Amino acid sequence: MKEAILNGKTALGIEFGSTRIKAVLVDANNNLIALGSHSWENKYENGVWTYSLDDIWNGLQDCYAQLAKDVKEKYDVTLTTVGAIGFSAMMHGYMAFNKAGELLVPFRTWRNTITEEAADKLTDLFGFNIPQRWSIAHLYQAILNKEEHVKDIDFFTTLAGYIHWKLTGEKVLGVGEASGMFPIDSDTKQFNVDMMGKFNAAIASESFSWKLEDIIPGVLVAGDKAGVLTDEGAKLLDVSGNLKGGIPLCPPEGDAGTGMVATNSIAVRTGNVSAGTSVFAMIVLEKALKNVHREIDLVTTPVGDAVAMVHCNNCSSDINAWVNIFAEFAKLCGSDITMGQIYESLYKEAMKGDKDCGGLMSYNYFSGEHVTGFEEGRPLFVREVNSNFNLANFMRVTLFTAFGALKTGLDILLKEEDVKIDSIFGHGGLFTTKGVCQKILAAAINAPVSVMDTASEGGAWGMAILASYMINKKDGEALDDYLKANVFAGMTGSVEEPDPEDVKGYDEFIKKYSKGLAVERAAVQNI
C-alpha cells in the first residue's frame, strides 16, 4: 500500500452525498487504502433546498484533509499525488453561471419539487419523461418564471460538473450524470439532438443570446480522459499545498452511476438499489419501455446504456430522526451505548415484529415525493387503537416505509412493463446492519437481494473504480469486463432470498400505505 501511494499507483474517488462527503483511495487492484469524510446538511432557504458554495468547498477540503490524515497515520506518507481522480455527487439540480464564472442563483438541489409546470410541459414536448429534479426542468421553470438571471447564463451544470470544472477548467460530464440533465441518445451517447432542437424552438420567443447547446456541458463516457488537475485546482482541493497538479481526472459522474459500478450492475437485466437519504433503483434495460411513465426516469449507465430509474426523495431521514430520539433517552438513562449499537439493536428488533407491522403505518416524507404525487411532505406516524404497538413493530414499519414509494414505482416496471431482473444489489448506509433492510427489500420486490462486503462504501468507491478504470484498463476493455476481472472476482457478500411470509406481509403493508396516502395529503394541507 505504501509503495502504491509513493508511486502514484492509486485512484481517488470523492462523492458528495446528501449528508456526507466521502473520499476513498484505492490501489491499482481497487483495494481500499484510506478513507476521509465530512458531514454536512442541506438548508431550506427562501423556498429552496440548497448548499452554499462555502458549504461545498469547506466540505470538500475537510474531506480531503481527513483522507490525507488517514494516509499519514496508516502509512507515514504525506500524500502529494495520486494516479487519477474522479468526482461524483447527487445527480440533477441546477447551478447556473455567468461569463465571469459567478453563480447566478443559489444551488437548487435534486430535493426541490418546484418545477412541476416545466416538467409537465417538457414531458409533453419531448414525449419523454422529464422529472422535476432534472436540470433542464429547473432551467425551463426559471424561464417560465421570467427569472432575471436566465439571460445572463453562460454555463449551467450539476454539482459534480461544477467541482470538476473548477479543478480542471473542463466543462464536461460523464454520460450517466449528463442523463440527469437532459435526455441522452443511447446510440450516440450524447444529448438528444432532436429534443435539443425542440427546446430551442420552444424558447425562441425569449430571444436569449444563447441556445441550449451553448451552455450545457460536453458529454464523455467511462474511460475517457476528462482533463487534469490544474495547479490552482490542487490548491483548492488540498489547502495544505502538498498535492501537486497534473493528475488526470475521469469524467464526473452521478451517484446513480457510481452505485451501478460499486455493485457490478451495469450489465443488461441487472439492477441495484441505493439507500441513504434518498433511495433509488436502477434497472439496466434489454429493450425500450412501451409507455412513458411519470414515475420512471430513463437515464444511462456510465457507458451510455439505457437504464430505468425509480428515484424517491425520502428514505433514511425519518429513521435517523427516530434513532436520535432513542439515543437521547439512552443518554438520559446514563447509558454509554454508541450510536452504532443503537442502530444495530433497533434494526434487529424490527426483525421480531409482525409480518405486516402489526397494523402500524408511517410516512417518511421529509420533502415532496413525486412517485406518489406530493410536492411537500410531513413525516407521519399513525396507528389504530387496536394495532399491535410495540418497539419491534414500530421499527419494522419505520424501515418498511423507507421502501414504500420505491415499491410503488418498481411495480410499474415489474408488473406493467414486464421488465426482467436477474439480480439486484443493495448498497448504501441503510444496508450496514447485515440482513435487515436487505431482507425487507427482498420482500418488497419479491426477488433476491445481494449485498457485498463493500456495500457501505457506496458511491465514493464506485467513483474511485471509474478513475482507476481510466488509467488501468487494457486497450478496448469494456467497463463490464474490467469490473468482473479486476474488481469483483472473488468478492464476498450475502444474498437474501424473499421469504414468502415477508412478501405477504409487505403486500399487506403496501395496500395500507397506498390507501393511507390520503392521511399524508391531509397532513400536508393542514399542518
pLDDT of residue 456: 54
**What is the residue whose three cell numbers read 464523455?**
220
Quick check: 465 and 459 in contact, CB under 8 A? no
Any alpha helices (H) in 289-390, and if so which ranges? 317-332, 339-350
Alpha carbon of residue 499 to chain centroid: 28
Q: What is the DSSP letter of 273?
A: E
Question: Which among 177, 89, 30 has a CA at the least distance from the CA of 482?
Answer: 30
Q: List the chain domain ranges.
A: 264-313+406-458+465-498, 317-404+501-526
Quick check: 64 and 22 in contact, CB under 8 A? no
Fold exhibited by the domain 264-313+406-458+465-498: Nucleotidyltransferase; domain 5 (3.30.420)
Q: Is the pTM of this model over 0.75?
A: yes
Rounded Cα distance, 453 and 471, in Å: 25
Question: Going by C-beta distance under 8 Å and a sequence separation of 6 or more, which residues neighbour residue 281?
Answer: 271, 272, 273, 309, 310, 406, 409, 410, 424
Quick check: 227 and 169 in contact, CB under 8 A? yes
Alpha carbon of residue 516 to chain centroid: 28
Q: Is 224 helix (H, G, I), strand (E, B) or coil?
A: coil
Question: Which among 123, 53, 132, 141 has a CA at the least distance from the CA of 91?
Answer: 132
**Over residues 183-196, mean pLDDT:** 95
Q: State the cell numbers at 387.
A: 394495532
pLDDT of residue 489: 83
pLDDT of residue 104: 98
Residue 219 forms beta bridges with which residues?
Answer: 173
> Above 70 in pLDDT, residue 312?
yes
Burial classification of residue 177, based on how many CB atoms lie within 10 Å of its CB (0-12 exposed, 13-18 middle, 19 or more buried): buried
What is the DSSP secondary-structure string of 388-421? --SHHHHHHHHHHGGGHHHHHHHHIIIIIS----
Question: Which among 222, 234, 259, 225 has a CA at the least distance from the CA of 89?
Answer: 259
pLDDT tens digits, 24-73: 999 999 999 999 999 999 999 999 999 999 999 999 999 999 999 999 99
For 159, phi then psi, to 5°, come to -60, -45
pLDDT of residue 71: 97
Helix (H) or strand (E) holding 386: none
pLDDT of residue 524: 97
pLDDT of residue 457: 60
Rounded Cα distance, 135 and 131, in Å: 9
Residue 303's pLDDT band (cuts 50, 70, 90)? very high
Angle among Cα 117, 121, 127 to the nearest 5 degrees reads 145
**What is the residue whose three cell numbers read 409537465?**
120
Residue 389's pLDDT band (cuts 50, 70, 90)? very high
**Over residues 256-260, mean pLDDT:** 89
Rounded Cα distance, 158 and 51, in Å: 13
pLDDT tens digits, 75-133: 999 999 999 999 999 999 999 999 999 999 999 999 888 999 999 999 999 999 999 99
Rounded Cα distance, 445 and 164, in Å: 37
**Over residues 209-233, mean pLDDT:** 98
Rounded Cα distance, 238 and 72, in Å: 14
> Above 80 in pLDDT, residue 340?
yes
pLDDT of residue 108: 97
Q: Which residue has the higher pLDDT, 395 or 1?
A: 395
> Above 60 in pLDDT, residue 226?
yes
Any alpha helices (H) in 263-365, and if so which ranges? 317-332, 339-350
**Over residues 212-230, mean pLDDT:** 98
Q: What is the DSSP letter of 476?
A: T
**Over residues 457-469, mean pLDDT:** 91
Q: State the cell numbers at 229.
A: 488537475
Percent of the chain with pLDDT over 70: 99
Residue 454's pLDDT band (cuts 50, 70, 90)? low
